[in-house]
Amino acid sequence: MMKKAMIAAMVMAAVVCTAAPVMAGTYTSPNGVLSIELPNDNWKEMMDPAKWVVLSDGANLITIEHYANGEKLPEMTIADSHYVNVYQAVFSTQNEVFIITGSLVDVGKIPEVCTAIMSTKVLQYDTKVAVKPQAETQAASEFTIADKNETWYVNCDGLNVRASYDTSSKLLGGVGQGEALHVTGSVQQNGKDFGWFRIDYNGGSGFVNAAFLSSSKPAGNSASSSSGTDTTKKSTTGVAYTGNAKTVYDTSGNAITIYEATNGNWYDNSGREYGWISDYEFGRTSDNAVFSVNKPVSSSDSGIYATGNTTTVYWMNGNSTTLSEYSDGSWYSPEWVKYWSTGGGTYAGADGSVLYVDEPQLTPSVETDADGEVYVTEQHGLSSQGSGRPVYVTGSDGDYYDASGVEYHQEDDGTWVDENGDYFDQTW
Return the higher-pLDDT residue of 185 and 111: 185
Identify which of 66-75, 101-110, 208-217, 310-319 has the greatest average pLDDT. 208-217
The residue that leads in pLDDT, 5 or 183, is: 183
% of the chain surpassing 90 pLDDT: 8
What is residue 151's predicted lDDT score, i.e. its pLDDT? 92
Tens digits of residue pLDDT in 14-59: 334 543 444 568 888 877 788 899 988 889 888 888 888 899 988 8
CA distance 225 to 12: 42
The answer on pLDDT for 358 being more than 60 is yes
According to DSSP, the residues that pair with 110 across neighbouring strands are: none
For residues 323 and 297, the model is more confident at 323
pLDDT of 226 higher than 50: no
pLDDT of residue 170: 83
Please report which confidence band the pLDDT of residue 149 belongs to, taking 50, 70 and 90 as the band edges.
Answer: very high
Would you give the DSSP letter of residue 237? Answer: S
CA 113 – CA 61 distance, rounded (Å): 9
* 166 vs 296, residue with greater confidence: 166
User: Which pLDDT belongs to residue 285?
Assistant: 84
DSSP 105-172: S-GGGHHHHHHHHHT-EE-S---SSPPPPGGGSSTT--EEEEEEEEEEEE-SSEEEEESSSSTTSPEE
The per-residue pLDDT for 317 is: 64
pLDDT mean across residues, the chain: 75
Q: What is the mean pLDDT of residues 282-300?
A: 73
Q: What's the pTM value of the predicted model, to 2 decimals?
A: 0.51
Which residue has better confidence, 4 or 275? Answer: 275
Continuous H helices in 220-310: none
Pick 210 or 268 by higher pLDDT. 210
Which residues contact residue 418 at a Cβ distance below 8 angstroms, ignoring those fewer than 6 apart?
Answer: 402, 406, 407, 408, 424
Distance CA 309, CA 323 (A): 9
pLDDT tens-digit map of 185-225 = 999 988 888 899 999 988 889 999 998 898 887 664 443 33
Nearest to 426 by CA among 348, 316, 313, 349: 316
Hey, what domains does the chain have and what are their CATH numbers?
11-128 (3.40.1000), 143-214 (2.30.30.40), 234-292 (no CATH), 299-356 (no CATH), 365-426 (no CATH)
Residue 244, Cβ density class (10 Å: 0-12 exposed, 13-18 middle, ≥19 buried): middle
Chain center to CA of 7? 25
| CA dist., res. 208 & res. 197, Å (int) | 5
pLDDT in tens, 398-417: 678 876 677 888 888 888 88
